[in-house]
Amino acid sequence: MKQVIVGNLGEIPPASGKVVHIGDQEIVIFRLSTGEYRAVENRCPHKGGPLAEGIISGKFVYCPLHDWKVSLEDGKVQAPDHGCVQTYPIRLRDGMLCIEMVEQLQ
């Protein structure tokens, strides 16, 4: 597991997101209204909508294209729709936000 610094604590306004690229992965870091952070793949499992442009409600984000509801806890799309996005552990370390990534074997 490697940690990748993705930003400073406080740089993301509440109830919004920031897109980062790590390798070939596009990830959005959401700051919830509670002050917690969540990191998920920035691609809706329906037709690839950019979740970073969605509306955050509690611990969910609504895709901006067709309004699918995606959990920011486990990445699962809520019924009646189905699917899942990749989630990433995010930690605070010395005032910096870090995503924990599984290292790829070469």
Contact set with ligand FES (CB under 6 A): 44, 46-49, 63, 65-66, 68
CB closer to ligand FES out of 44 and 99: 44
Output the smallest distance, CB 37 to ligand FES, in A.
22
16 token code pair: 């919004």
For ligand FES, which is the closer residue by CB, 32 or 77? 77
Minimum Å gap between C-beta 19 and ligand FES is 16
Tokens 């509670």 sit at which residue? 34
62-100: b (≥16 Cβ within 10 Å) or e: bbeeeebbbbbeebbbeeebeeebebbebeeeeeebbbe
Q: Residue 50 Cβ, how far from ligand FES at the closest point, in Å?
A: 9
Question: Between 84 and 101, whose beta carbon lies closer to ligand FES?
Answer: 84
Hunting for tokens 């009646």 — which residue is that?
A: 80
Could you tell me which residues are beta bridge partners of residue 3?
100
